[in-house]
Amino acid sequence: MPTKERAGGEDLSCPSSQPASAGARVIGLVEHENGEPRVAYLNGELPVTPELLAQAAPLEATTVFRFGAACETSSCVHFGNGNCQLAKRILTGLEEVVDSLPPCVLRKSCRWYAQEGAAMCRRCPQIVTTSSGKDETIKAVADG
C-alpha cells in the first residue's frame, strides 16, 4: 500500500501544489503550445517568495507557474484509499502528450511518478493548476 514516504523514509512531493502550500517551490513555467498549456520544467527548483508571485501579475500565479510541495496525503481533497486519486484520473482520462519523460527535478520524490510510473510523466506537461483554456476533458479529470 502506498504511503506518504518512499524508500529511505523521504516524503513524497505533489507535482501540482498551490503556491501557499508549505515548502512550495516553482518546478515549471506554463507555456502555450498550439493554443494548449504545456509545462516547461525548470532545471532546478525556485522557492516561492512574494516577489516571485508578484511577477505573475496581473495573472494568477498558478496560470504562469507550476508548483511542487510536500504531498499532504489525507489532508488533500484528491487523496483517498492510500493514493492520489487525481493522478489516477489523469492516467485514465488523459492521453500522453510527450513521447519521452520530460526533465523534472521533482521526479525522484514525485507522488505521481511513485504511484503511476512513467506513463504519468508523459501526461504531466499538460497539467496546469489554473488554465484560461476551456478544455472540458482536463477540467472533468481534475474535478473527478
- Reported as a single tens digit per residue, the pLDDT across 38-55 is 999 999 989 999 999 999
Residue 21 inside a domain? The answer is yes
Q: How confident is the model at residue 10 (pLDDT cuts 50, 70, 90)?
A: low
pLDDT at res. 8: 45
- Reported as a single tens digit per residue, the pLDDT across 54-113 is 999 999 999 999 999 999 999 999 999 999 999 999 999 999 999 999 999 999 999 999
Mean pLDDT of 128-137: 62
Residue 113 inside a domain? The answer is yes
Centre a 10 Å sphere on the Cβ of residue 36 and count the other Cβ atoms it contains: 15
Is the pTM higher than 0.75? The answer reads yes
Q: Are 27 and 41 in contact (CB under 8 A)?
A: yes
Residue 4 inside a domain? The answer is no
- Cα–Cα distance for residue pair 59/88, rounded to 1 Å: 29
Residue 2 inside a domain? The answer is no
Q: What is the DSSP letter of 126?
A: G
Residue 3 inside a domain? The answer is no
Domain count, the chain: 1
pLDDT at res. 9: 45
Helix or strand (DSSP H, E) at 68: strand 65-70
Enumerate the H helices of 14-135 as residue ranges.
50-54, 61-64, 85-93, 111-116, 118-121
Residue 117 inside a domain? The answer is yes
Q: Are 61 and 19 in contact (CB under 8 A)?
A: yes
Q: Is the peptide bond before 47 cis (omega within 30 degrees of 0)?
A: no
Residue 7 inside a domain? The answer is no
106: containing domain: 13-143
